[in-house]
A and B are shown apart, each in its own frame.
Chain A
């Protein structure tokens, strides 16, 4: 506590004594606040790691924050991977199709459209851009039920495409790509390439796309997260559980039990296995995130 008081005092007096000594001192309050935030964010994930080491019985009988070393971890992993003839792995594969495949396709769509809108003026370009800005106002999740109503008479529901297609054009990422193309692809560079005899297409994929790459990583991650989090769309579109993404599959596992604890250890193992690769992916890609793009892109 005295250290805390010390920092409090120092906060007030620091400017009057601009010597180098107090500069070395760790500022305690911000550090503590941040650590408290870290605990709040990490402990639930940590609990899942601990709970995944327990059998159903141990889940209710042992202290919640003490892992168990009775070999239940491997039983749980085997249990979830062999559940319903290994459907969990199929869900994981579907998730890759929806989130990674859809994310890549959507990034390509956004890059093309953003580059065209940012670097060219053509007939209707202003109208197209205004349309895209208007579409930003319509959140995809609210459109899921209307999208189902539209696709159902066409017999397009309950397919991979019914989840992929509605999410391919994301107006927000198109907007980001336009802003970024304007800022990063210099007109002089394009003009020089033209003088050298490069075709417009060549300029796009050899210069434009390359310069836009940092933004495209961010666009991919935004889209990836968007698809992952759009639970309602697969929820309404899909009835065949072999087409489910992980989120829907796991929801289905908890649903019929209705709070009955018999499948808890399996669901926990599934949650553990879904979080782990994502956390690794995210934390390793973190330095490629260009969030400044977001704050700069959406100037209010």
Chain B
């Protein structure tokens, strides 16, 4: 959050800017503010309100009537008491535990290789590794689904059961990782290019090997970029939905509540319980915000330590 106060380019001319009264900035910022209020904050607030309600069915001589009544924390307690909610969270965490470190490791490895002296065909490799980023998650899942299916698999799907009770986690994590490694690699590579060359040359003159330079100098210097890639990956993992949903028709290993977001969907649309769905959506939202803040705090601390 240091960026909030950091930019001071406008300071010297601010008296002049203040003197000019113009409505333009307000006009320019208005559409964004309006859209954010209507489609980001209002849904979040509305979901919270819905999550506190329930349908009360009262039967009588004149037929049954349904009305919305205040439910308090009831939707939350029933979601949090549901073992299936925790197992869906667990499955998501397993996929994240496989996917996030793999993405971080491979993206860093590829970025360091791109940055290494005298590596060849880097232009081709960079484009090739970036290519999956252009493939949307659903299409990528269909694609990998065919690669996993025993009947069509070119990668030994008839020998290895990619939809087994353990392998399914790797199968899903692999599809998700495949799509984002290239993007993260380019982010890290860009950060590596901005490491001052004199520092690297000085290390080489001191007798450091390429590997030592990479691990001891380059990695610490791109710590902020690494922290950002980690943050993106964690947020991405918490939103896991496209891949398991698209793979679901191909296998019985994925249930309709396999990850929390699938549960939100099936609560609201399959079971027609929008109040329960709103509660699970809100729980997930709070968890994501919490995780984001936690990763930021840890990342901040790490990059500050490495800056010392």
Contacts and interface: CB of A to CB of B under 8 A. Distances in A.
B178 A137 contact: no
A268 to B, nearest CB: 7
Contacts of A4: none
Contact of A282 (B109, B131, B137): B131
A97 interface: no
B83 interface: no
Interface in B118-173: 118-122, 124-140, 142-147, 149, 151-154
Interface in A113-151: 113, 115-117, 119-122, 125, 128-129, 131-133, 135, 137-143, 145-150
A122 B26 contact: yes
B246 interface: yes
Contact of B39 (A27, A35, A169, A281): A169
B3 A179 contact: yes
A298 interface: yes
Given A27-B117, A282-B131, A131 B143 contact: no
Contacts of A64: 152-154
Interface string B192-212: 011000000000110111110
B40 interface: yes
Nearest to A113: B32
A221 to B, nearest CB: 10
Interface stretch (B58-66, B70-78, B86-94, B225-233): B225-233
Interface string A70-93: 000000000000000000000000
A69 interface: no
A166 B139 contact: no
A247 B241 contact: no
Contacts of B299: 300
Interface in A244-300: 246-248, 250-251, 254-255, 257-259, 261, 264, 267-268, 271, 274-275, 278-279, 281-283, 286, 289, 291-292, 294-295, 298-300
A116 B29 contact: yes
B47 A149 contact: yes
Given A137-B293, A142-B285, A200 B36 contact: no
A275 B17 contact: no
Nearest to B11: A187
Interface string B73-115: 0000000000000000000000000000000001001101110
Contacts of A258: 249
Interface string B3-45: 1101101101110111010101110110111011011111110
Contacts of A278: 134-136
Given A41-B182, A64-B154, A286-B130, A30 B119 contact: yes
Contacts, number: 347
Interface string A228-246: 1101100110000000001
Interface residues of B, number: 128
A122 B21 CA distance: 9
B31 A113 contact: yes
A33 B107 CA distance: 11
A213 to B, nearest CB: 17
Given A247-B136, A259-B250, A35 B121 contact: yes
Given A112-B32, A279-B131, A34 B119 contact: yes
Interface in A164-199: 165-169, 171, 174, 179, 182-183, 187-188, 191, 194
Contacts of A188: 13
B221 interface: no
B24 A201 contact: yes
Contacts of B245: 231, 235, 251
Contact of A33 (B43, B110, B209): B110
Contact of B194 (A24, A122, A145, A292): A292
B3 A250 contact: no
A149 B269 CA distance: 10
A141 B281 CA distance: 11
Q: Which of B152, B264, B265, B278 gathers most chain A CB within 10 Å?
A: B152
Contact of A139 (B24, B246, B288): B288
A59 B157 CA distance: 14
A215 to B, nearest CB: 14
Given A11-B211, A109-B35, A251 B246 contact: yes
B128 A38 contact: yes
A169 B40 contact: yes
A145 B265 contact: yes
18 contacts: A11-B209, A11-B210, A11-B211, A29-B113, A33-B109, A40-B178, A41-B181, A109-B32, A122-B25, A133-B4, A135-B41, A142-B261, A142-B285, A149-B46, A169-B35, A171-B40, A231-B137, A250-B139
Given A30-B119, A64-B152, 11 more contacts: A15-B207, A37-B110, A37-B181, A40-B178, A128-B33, A138-B40, A149-B43, A166-B43, A255-B249, A279-B131, A289-B186
